[in-house]
């Protein structure tokens, strides 16, 4: 019973932990060429998406997607 309780506690704690990792952003230019950019730091998926979408500011004809 103690093992089951311990296992359940570990699973519960793991489910609350956010999955942060280095994120990659693939950007496509209007001429069809692409570039992949790395965040260089660990980000959550939500923060990675915000970072990736912010990569296009100031550049017309470029769109970026989180990989």
Q: Per-residue DSSP letters for 4-51?
A: HHHHHHHHHHHHHS---EEEEEEEEETTS-EEEEEEEEEE-HHHHHHH
pLDDT band, residue 9 (cuts 50/70/90): low
Average pLDDT, the chain: 82
Least reliable range by pLDDT among 7-11, 13-17, 33-37: 13-17
Say whether pTM exceeds 0.75: no
Q: What is the mean pLDDT of residues 15-23?
A: 76
The mean pLDDT of 19-46, rounded to a whole number, is 91
φ and ψ at residue 15, rounded to 5 degrees = -70, -25
Would you say residue 25 has pLDDT above 90?
Answer: yes
């Amino acid at each position: 019973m103690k093992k089951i309780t311990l296992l359940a506690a570990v699973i519960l704690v793991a489910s609350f932990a956010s999955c942060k990792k280095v994120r990659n952003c693939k950007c496509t230019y209007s001429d069809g060429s692409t570039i992949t950019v790395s965040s260089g730091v660990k980000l959550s998926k939500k923060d990675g998406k915000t970072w990736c979408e912010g990569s296009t500011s100031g550049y017309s004809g470029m769109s970026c997607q989180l990989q």
